[in-house]
Copies of this chain bind each other. A is one copy, B any other.
């Protein structure tokens, strides 16, 4: 149906639309795709021809309904494969992204459907991100960044914002993983660092860390 490159652009636009509802700028997309603005303009024109995006010169792009549907399908596959790699093939959560970037482009509805079933219709990928179902529906959890919590507030660690290997391995090393209870004991106004309680253990973390950990409070 669509090329790898087209699918990757759609995915990138989908993710950037959160931040730029008015339309995703060429430069933002160029940065996300690690390419040049001129290449982005070329591709946007092509996607526009194919009615995957709505585009007016100098005004940025938005996904059309078809574009959004396609992007969600790719994201669904990406996250299902990440789940598969961790749950069935002994991958660590920091090793799955690059392989999933390849697997997400495999074209077979039956494969996606059967994989989903084989995995027991998982709701979240290894990084806490929601896995869209076959109809493209997914629940956006009411999560906040740990850095937004104040002293004495608590919740459960439910996701990571940064899913780079470096960050994930840091979390592993410090025994921070999804599902664990976290309570803010102290918050340093000066540098934004925190003293947290995680499973009976006290830990001091920098703002860079708390800015990349999602917490579900309630």
Contact residues in B for A118 (Cβ distance below 8 Å)? 88-89
CB–CB B114/A106 < 8 A: no
A95-103, A133-141, A183-191: which one contacts chain B? A95-103
CB–CB B102/A114 < 8 A: no
A111 to B85, CA, bound (A): 8
A129 to B110, CA, bound (A): 24
> Is the contact region of chain A dominated by helix, strand, or loop, or is it mixed?
helix
CB–CB B95/A102 < 8 A: no
A139 to B105, CA, bound (A): 33
* Residue of A98, A108, A114 with highest tally of chain B CB at under 10 A: A108
* 13 sample A-B contacts, Cβ–Cβ < 8 Å, listed by A number: A85-B111, A89-B111, A90-B114, A91-B110, A91-B114, A95-B110, A98-B108, A99-B106, A99-B108, A99-B110, A102-B106, A102-B107, A103-B106
